[in-house]
Amino acid sequence: MKSRTTRILRVVALLSIFSVVTGCAMIQPVQPWEKGMLAKPEMNFDSDRLEAKFTEHIYTSKEGASGGGGVGGGGCGCN
């Protein structure tokens, strides 16, 4: 009974890995004529500049530290 459960779990794991791999392979790259849409201000994470500054001020007030809001990492994969 235990070997059957193990076998079923292996099949489920393989099917889920296969679906993730094939799903990621189907993603189309952004075409050059579509990049104009990505450059719009609405596509920014912080489209409202005043709200972003306010949120940063609240964060630095609570944490007692400033900075670190930019992109981290040095190319090694660790942040």
Residues 68-77 pLDDT 10s: 665 555 556 5
Across the range 23-31, mean pLDDT stands at 73
Q: What percent of the chain has pLDDT over 90?
A: 0
> What type of residue is 61?
S
Look up residue 8 and give its two tokens: 């079923």
* Residue bearing tokens 């099949």: 11
Across the range 44-57, mean pLDDT stands at 81
What band does 51 get if pLDDT is binned at 50, 70 and 90? confident
Q: Is the full-model pTM beyond 0.95? A: no
- Tell me how far apart the alpha carbons of residues 64 and 67 are, in angstroms, rounded to a whole number: 11
Q: What integer pLDDT is reported at residue 39 of this predicted model?
A: 81
- Tell me how far apart the alpha carbons of residues 42 and 48 are, in angstroms, rounded to a whole number: 9
